[in-house]
């Protein structure tokens, strides 16, 4: 056992586990050997100073922070990254700015905290956002010859369908899931890719009304996939 050092009387000694206890029966019990306080030495362990209250683990019982919704500021910054510069517009104004109050951004007059609940009104405006932004992105992609500069049609050409180029369509769907949601799909048989592929194919066929799909019909299919990704819970929640 190490000796007490001057100046450490108020600190925690990590040399041995020591406890100062009184003799059985209290301070007035017996005057023989063993009477009075004694020091018990145990295995090495941190020891609190005498009369120190118990230390409670501050993380004990702490629950996870849970699921949160992106703020309007986060959405405003994220959308141009995902769509390579394209964003939501209401007239000539940025849609997130024009609808900020309705989307729950505080005005510091009637509210000081942002409402981050996914209310029906929020979902309605996010549908407007997705349709407008995706239309801008897909229209720009159709006029862009360099696939590397496209936001949505990155691995496929505007006229290619699931029937004519299944490999390219699958690659593009996997890319979009990763670019929009940060979720990797290693196989075209991934359930999420299968679902997006069905959505794309059905949208193209519906736009063609049973006829041979044209370039415009294929673009409508990719526009539908883009809207589905931007309105999915995975895009808005973290």
Helix (H, G, I), strand (E, B) or coil at 195: helix
**Residues ≥6 apart with Cβ < 8 Å to 214:** 159, 208
Both tokens assigned to 175? 């890319």
Cα torsion at 154, 157, 163, 168 (round to 10°)? Answer: -30
Domain that holds residue 42: 11-25+35-48
Q: How far is CA 104 from CA 116, 121, 226, 235, 238, in A?
A: 7, 10, 25, 18, 18
In a shared domain, residues 40 and 95: no
Quick one: pLDDT at residue 51? Answer: 80
What value does the mean pLDDT take over residues 134-140?
98
CA angle, corner 155, sides to 87 and 206, nearest 5? 75
CB atoms within 10 A of CB 217: 19
Q: pLDDT band at 191, cuts 50/70/90?
A: very high
The pLDDT-based confidence of 217 (bands split at 50, 70, 90) is very high
Task: Name the DSSP letter for residue 3.
Answer: P
Count of residues making up the chain: 238
- Look up tokens 């066929």; give the residue: 205
Q: Is the pLDDT of residue 229 over 90?
A: yes
Does residue 163 register a pLDDT over 80? yes
Average pLDDT over residues 122-143: 98
Q: In this predicted structure, what is the pLDDT of residue 178? A: 97
Give the number of domains in the chain: 2
- Which of 116-120, 137-141, 147-151, 165-169 is least confident? 116-120
- Asked whether residue 125 falls in the same domain as residue 192, the answer is yes
For residue 10, pLDDT beyond 50: no
Asked, for residue 58, whether it belongs to a domain, the answer is: no
CA 182/CA 185 separation, integer angstroms: 10
Local confidence band at 19 (pLDDT 50, 70, 90 cut-offs): very low
CA-based R_g, the chain, Å: 33
pLDDT of res. 121: 95
**pLDDT value at position 2?**
45
Is there a single domain that holds both residue 76 and residue 39? no
Which pLDDT does position 3 carry in this prediction?
Answer: 44
Half-sphere exposure of 64 (CA within 13 A, CB side): 4
Q: What was the pLDDT predicted at 64? A: 59
Q: Residues 118-128: what's their mean pLDDT?
A: 96
* Phi/psi at 69 (5° precision): -100, 145
User: Tens digits of per-residue pLDDT, 32-86?
Assistant: 555 566 666 666 767 778 787 887 776 666 555 678 899 999 999 999 999 999 9
Q: Give the residue from 155, 160, 157 showing the smallest Cα distance to 142.
A: 157
- CA separation for the pair 235, 114 (Å, rounded): 19
Question: What per-residue confidence (pLDDT) applies to 235?
Answer: 97
First vs last C-alpha separation in the chain: 53
Q: Is the pLDDT of residue 98 over 80?
A: yes
Say yes or no: 108 and 76 in one domain.
Answer: yes
In a domain, 60, yes or no: no
Same domain, 140 and 230: yes
Structural domain contains residue 127: yes
Assess whether 76 and 194 both reside in one domain. Answer: yes
């Amino acid at each position: 056992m190490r000796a007490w050092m001057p100046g450490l009387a108020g600190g925690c000694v990590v040399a041995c586990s020591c406890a100062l206890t009184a003799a059985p029966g209290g301070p007035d019990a017996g005057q023989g050997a063993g009477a009075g306080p004694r020091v018990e030495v145990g295995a090495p362990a941190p020891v609190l100073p005498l009369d120190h209250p118990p230390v409670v683990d501050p993380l004990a019982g702490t629950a996870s922070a849970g699921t949160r919704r992106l703020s309007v500021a986060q959405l405003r910054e994220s959308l141009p990254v995902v769509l390579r510069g394209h964003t939501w517009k209401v007239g000539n104004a940025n849609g997130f700015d024009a609808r900020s109050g309705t989307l729950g951004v505080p005005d510091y007059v009637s509210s000081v905290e942002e409402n981050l609940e996914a209310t029906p009104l929020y979902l309605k405006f996010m549908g407007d956002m997705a349709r407008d932004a995706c239309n801008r992105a897909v229209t720009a992609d159709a006029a862009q010859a360099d696939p590397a500069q496209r936001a949505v049609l990155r691995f496929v050409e505007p006229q290619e369908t699931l029937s004519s180029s299944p490999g390219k369509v699958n690659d593009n769907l996997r890319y979009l899931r990763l670019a929009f949601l940060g979720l990797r799909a290693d196989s075209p048989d991934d359930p999420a890719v299968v679902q997006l592929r069905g959505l794309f194919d059905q949208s193209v066929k519906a736009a063609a009304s049973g006829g041979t799909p044209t370039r415009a019909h294929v673009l409508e299919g990719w526009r539908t996939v883009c809207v589905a990704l931007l309105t999915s819970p995975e895009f808005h929640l973290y």
